[in-house]
Chain A
């Protein structure tokens, strides 16, 4: 069973640029959630994708957008980068069906530094 993978591991960008982060979900999972973790804080929910559609969004501006592909992998795009976007971005995959929330399995994260 392959776990959640994310790429790249590290990234340095400058203010105003755009960035794309990638996530491959764990085998058998159909849902991907993205979280932002600032230094010294817990992860903060950005949004979730299920069946290629956004299925819930946290308190993040529209310049944070995403995609989910038919193979359930996902991308997180951030436009017009700001210094405060510097953080660890975590992807988590899970299986969503009927009933209770399934466990989310996290990837290792992508550390983004905006200069």
Chain B
């Protein structure tokens, strides 16, 4: 079975500092990886997916198959980045998402 691990439940950084949210997955095939974000009082929404290779709101994520990781990075955190971030994988054939337990990011002024 697929598993997605986000080792940090809480992460605090100061505004302007770099931020990295860790995500590791376990799947022997070629998964699709996603980062979803949930801002306060808003619904879960897609931040980025690895196949599109886009940078959204300054965030990037690189799929490292050797380390089975898909860490989310931003060079300069902003206060509006404070939110809950979920990493998710999809085996492709089943089209079902497996989520990690989430990391609550707080960007301090």
By a beta-carbon cutoff of 8 Å, the part of chain A in contact with chain B is 31, 33, 35, 40-45, 48, 55-56, 58, 90, 92, 94, 96, 100-101, 103-109
Contacts and interface: CB of A to CB of B under 8 A. Distances in A.
A48 B95 contact: yes
Contact of B95 (A41, A43, A56, A109): A56
Contact of A101 (B90, B99, B102): B90
Nearest to B102: A42
B32 A100 contact: yes
A73 to B, nearest CB: 18
Contacts of B97: 33, 35, 43, 45, 92, 104
Contacts of B32: 100-101
Contact of A56 (B36, B44, B94): B94
Place the interface of chain B in its size category. Answer: 20 to 34
B98 A45 contact: yes
Contacts of A107: 43
Contacts of A90: 44
Contacts of B96: 33, 45, 48, 56, 58
A96 B99 contact: no
B95 A106 contact: no
Nearest to A42: B99
Interface stretch (B45-53, B55-63, B66-74): B45-53
A11 B51 CA distance: 38
A15 B70 CA distance: 40
Given A106-B43, A108-B43, A109-B43, A42 B86 contact: yes
Nearest to A50: B95
A88 to B, nearest CB: 10
A58 B98 CA distance: 10
Nearest to A38: B101
Contacts of A103: 46, 49
A29 to B, nearest CB: 13
